[in-house]
Amino acid sequence: MAAGLLAGDLALNAALLALLMAPAPVPVRHRLALEAASALERTIAGELLDVRSELLRPDLAEPERVAELKTAVYSVSLPLRLGAIAAGLTSADLIDVLDRAGIAFGIAYQLADDDLGLFGSEAQTGKSVLSDVQQGKRTEHVRLAYARAETADRDTLDAVLGMPTATEGDADLVRDIVLRTGARDDVTKAIDDHVARGIRLAAAELPAPLATYLAELARSMRSRTR
């Protein structure tokens, strides 16, 4: 584990070095490195919030905020901002639009990933469909289900979530509660809402070819299986 953490530190350092040594004018390289360092701070905050959430009652967690900070920033927003700056874009307003659209798409991506983590196929995703249950992940599915559940179902969630030895049968209990409370339906709607918001932002403010490309990528999340 210690070696893994050190490898992660090395990877972060290598990423910053790559930006600082990129074949671009010094001011551009400086902006790229600042963007990455700023995003790193937000991502660390999201990771801390995610880990801390596992100690909270599920309905007190903030999974969409975690998704924004932990996933959307580094997976979508940062790459868009870096690409724009590297391409010579200087408009702070347009970079802000990229950030807001990227955040919307990134939250949708994480919510969809959480759905696959509970209802997907391990053969397709390559990820255990038990791991989130065993780790007690406070996903939006779990937050909504817990908030709406009756006492017996809450007791089941309290007993199963975070149990390292949770079985497929235990995960089925969680899935059943998530479905019966309508939590999965609402998460699906939230995914669509975030995607639609990102597409609207891009269509209104960004060059048409880029807006169209981003919209196509975002819509593909509704059919992803891994």
List the one residue out of 198, 214, 8 whose CA is nearest residue 111.
Answer: 198
pLDDT for residue 225 is more than 80 = no
The pLDDT score that the predictor gives to residue 66 is 97
Residues 26-46, mean pLDDT to the nearest whole number: 95
pLDDT bucket at 41, cuts 50 / 70 / 90: very high
Residue 98 sits in a domain whose CATH number is 1.10.600.10
CA distance 188 to 140: 10
pLDDT bucket at 223, cuts 50 / 70 / 90: confident
String of DSSP letters for 87-155: TT---HHHHHHHHHHHHHHHHHHHHHHHHHHHHS-HHHHSS-SSHHHHHT---HHHHHHHHH--HHHHH
How far, rounded to the nearest angstrom, does the alpha carbon of residue 216 sit from its chain's CA centroid?
19
The pLDDT score that the predictor gives to residue 222 is 73
Give the structural domain span for 33: 2-223
Summarize pLDDT for 51-75 with one digit per residue, the tens. Answer: 999 999 999 999 999 999 999 999 9
For the chain, the domain total comes to: 1
pTM of the entire predicted model? 0.92
